[in-house]
Chain A
Amino acid sequence: MEQEALSADSTAESNSGPAADPRALSSTPDLDLARRHRYGDSSAFEEVYRQYVQMVFNLCLRMVGRREEAEDLAQEVFLRIHRHLGRFNGRSALKTWIYRVTINHCRSKLSRKRWFMRSIKEEDEEGGVQLEDRARSPEDRTLANDDARTVMRALLQVKPRFREALVLRDLEGMSYDEIADVLRIRIGTVRSRIARGRERLRQVLEKELTT
């Protein structure tokens, strides 16, 4: 069953055209990591972990909004990666595959617990460890943090399917092709989800900022 689902990462290939080239370029080192993991080289997983831990944690955080849950989710995601890395077949880039695993795991958790219905508590947000931005003054950073909190609260009010697309586009900086590949949807659907997500976010932010 797992193998069947793993091979399903090829289904997105029809969604993306020539822009899928980077996958081919990155497939050799990615496959090499998978091969090393398969043959018991523990440093392969460590490399994957080091390379993607920040991406996975932040993606989880953007999806569920709470630091503790994001940490739990990230743990589970890496456990899955550890289990399945050996069977990674290189049809997508490893990064795309990891994004997909993370998003799918978040979806599964969201549908189970409906975390998205909860609002973020202040202490949860304080618990996050912000990367230091030395280019800004402390005052600017405080303002930026307040803004970021407001935006995060608003983002959690956007439906997960639109939120995913927004996070991948506007926070992760992915192209529509890449998003289509991760979410295994058509480009037209990516476009529509991003537009609807932005519109919803605009409405929520408008409300948040006027109250």
Chain B
Amino acid sequence: MSKPASSPEARQELLSAYLDGELRPDEEKGVEDLLEQEPAAREQLEGMRRVVGHLRHVERMAPPQTLDMAVARRVALEGEHRSLLDRIEDGMGGMSRAKQGNLFFLFALVVALAVIILLFSQGLQRSQDSLIPVVFEDPSKLEDADLTTALQVVVGGALFRRHEGQHRGVLWVEDGLEVDAEAELVLLGSERAEELLTRYPELKGIAMLGHVKVEVAGRILELVDDSSLGLASP
């Protein structure tokens, strides 16, 4: 045998990948040796084969006919919204440049005021939030909790700032196409969160609606890009 499986989980993985024909030749040889030597391994493989067989009993369903109509309706509705926007833009095309300029100026002013008010209110909110200690629960305990089964979200990025002598950061999550601000209870149990916790024992955080707040004592933790993680000096 080229490399014996070091744990029951590792053996399970090897047998499962063997069943799928997804092993390297040396691993495959190792599994074949194992199967030859150990009846228990053969039994385990058979059990797995039965499970796969059961799964393949599940047939594809034809999508309901109402789906075609529903999708067409929603796409058309979205198209109407777009054409309304286009019409507004076209309507503006008839105005004089001076009028357009004034309108844009007024619009920009309103937007700027709204942004200032929003930022101010968020600042107030954050300064209140920051006084609340946040703690990540032990991920090993979370493993079996009901909620963790749903928490499969990829960390999309991180922002950090210094606040009252501490480094406080916000990780946000994405659901593939866009940052999902509506997601509830995301990230706990995600691999990236677990990786962060393992790698930085001083890291504390809490799952919140749509994002996770993290605290790193003395260091700034930053996601350099979507796929790598690094430390920057404070």
A-side residues, CB < 8 A to B, are 1-2, 5-6, 8, 11, 14, 45, 49, 53-54, 57-58, 61-62, 67, 71, 74-75, 78-80, 82-84, 100-101, 103-105, 107-108, 110-112, 114, 116-117, 128-131, 133, 144, 147-148, 150-152, 155, 159-161, 164, 166, 169-171, 175-176, 184-185, 189, 191-192, 194-196, 198-199, 201-202, 205
Contacting pair B178 A117 (CB below 8 A): no
| A196 cross-chain contacts in B, Cβ below 8 A | 9, 12
The chain A residue with its CB closest to the CB of B71 is A78
User: Is A111 touching B54 in the complex (CB atoms < 8 A)?
Assistant: no
Asked if B122 is an interface residue, CB under 8 A from chain A, the answer is no
Specify which chain B residues have a CB less than 8 angstroms from the CB of A161 in the assembled complex: 149, 152
Over the window 203-234 of chain B, the binary record of Cβ atoms lying under 8 Å from chain A Cβ atoms (1 yes, 0 no) is: 00000000000000000000000110000000
Pairs of residues from A and B, 10 with the lowest C-beta to C-beta distance, nearest first: A104-B176, A195-B16, A57-B63, A111-B150, A170-B55, A159-B149, A195-B13, A104-B175, A129-B62, A128-B61
Min C-beta distance of B201 to chain A, whole Å: 23
The answer to whether B32 has its CB under 8 Å from any CB of chain A is no
Given known contacts A54-B60, A112-B183, A198 and B176 CB-to-CB distance under 8 angstroms:
no
In whole Å, how far is A15's beta carbon from the nearest beta carbon of chain B? Answer: 9
Question: Which of A71, A80, A129, A147 is close to B54, meaning CB atoms less than 8 Å apart?
Answer: A147
Q: List 24 A-B contacts (CB under 8 A).
A: A5-B177, A6-B177, A8-B174, A49-B71, A54-B63, A61-B61, A71-B67, A78-B71, A83-B78, A101-B177, A104-B177, A107-B150, A107-B152, A108-B175, A129-B63, A144-B57, A151-B54, A151-B58, A159-B149, A166-B55, A170-B56, A171-B58, A201-B54, A202-B48
Chain A neighbourhood of B149, CB < 8 A: 116, 159-161
Is there an interface contact between A201 and B184, defined as CB atoms closer than 8 Å? Answer: no
Given A57-B67, A82-B75, A202-B51: A101 touches B176 (CB 8 Å cut-off): yes
Whether the pair A144, B64 counts as a contact (CB closer than 8 A) is no
Restricting to B6-25, which residues have a CB under 8 Å from any CB of A? Answer: 9, 12-13, 15-17, 20, 22
B70 within 8 A of A: yes
Contact B60 A131 (CB under 8 A): yes
Please, which residue of chain B has its CB at the minimum distance from the CB of A133?
B59
B side interface size, CB within 8 A = 57
Residues B152 and A105 in contact, CB atoms below 8 Å apart: no
Are B183 and A189 in contact (CB-based, < 8 A)? no
CA distance A5 to B226 in the complex (A): 9
- Inter-chain contacts of B152 with A (CB < 8 A): 107, 111, 160-161, 164
* A184 vs B179: C-alpha distance when bound (angstroms): 16
Complex CA distance for A103 and B221, rounded to whole angstroms: 29
Known: A71-B64, A111-B153, A195-B13. A117 touches B146 (CB 8 A): yes
Tell whether A112 pairs with B182 under 8 Å between CB atoms, given A101-B177, A129-B62. yes
Residues of chain A with a CB closer than 8 A to B147's CB: 114
Any A CB within 8 A of the CB of B156:
yes
- Chain A residue nearest in CB terms to B61: A128
A105 to B183, alpha carbons, bound, how many Å? 10
Q: Which of A5, A75, A84, A100 contacts B71 (CB 8 A)?
A: A75
Q: Do A107 and B153 have beta carbons less than 8 Å apart? A: yes
**What's the least CB distance linking A85 to chain B, in Å?**
11
Question: Given known contacts A62-B58, A198-B48, what 11 new A-B pairs fall within 8 Å (CB)?
Answer: A11-B226, A74-B67, A111-B153, A111-B184, A111-B185, A148-B58, A151-B55, A151-B58, A164-B152, A171-B58, A191-B13
